[in-house]
Amino acid sequence: MDGSFLRFYIRENQHHHHRLLWEWLLEQANRMGIRGGSAFRAMAGFGRRHHLHEDHFFELAGTLTVEVEFIVTDDEARKLLELLETEKIRAFYAQIPARFGVTGPN
């Protein structure tokens, strides 16, 4: 099946409706019927301001990124992106063409 690999880059302490945004995003995708999603916490990284964030000090808690990713149909990707637009959520994302399926016997 052809579709998209859709990845969002969310600050780990970013909230929406009093929920961590990465949790809210996974919940919304699940409600929409998307078959799966995952969230991964970054160990280190930098963004548009070129400031390096690393997970070394307690006082840096909340400054790293959580990657939330889905492998979806193009229609599901469109609906999820429209939801973020409707909710006025600002988040960086990447949408990459993907071919997906399941190997092995039924």
User: Is 61 a member of any domain?
Assistant: yes
User: Is 51 a member of any domain?
Assistant: yes
**For residues 3 and 15, what is the distance between their CA atoms, to the nearest angstrom?**
28
User: Is 56 a member of any domain?
Assistant: yes
Number of domains the chain is built from: 1
Domain of 56, in residue numbers: 2-99
User: Is 39 a member of any domain?
Assistant: yes
User: Is 18 a member of any domain?
Assistant: yes
User: Is 106 a member of any domain?
Assistant: no
User: Is 104 a member of any domain?
Assistant: no
User: Is 84 a member of any domain?
Assistant: yes
The pLDDT value recorded for residue 50 is 73
**Residue pair 73/7 in contact by the 8 Å Cβ criterion:** no
pLDDT in tens, 25-71: 999 999 999 999 999 987 766 767 776 666 655 555 566 889 999 99
pTM across the whole model: 0.84
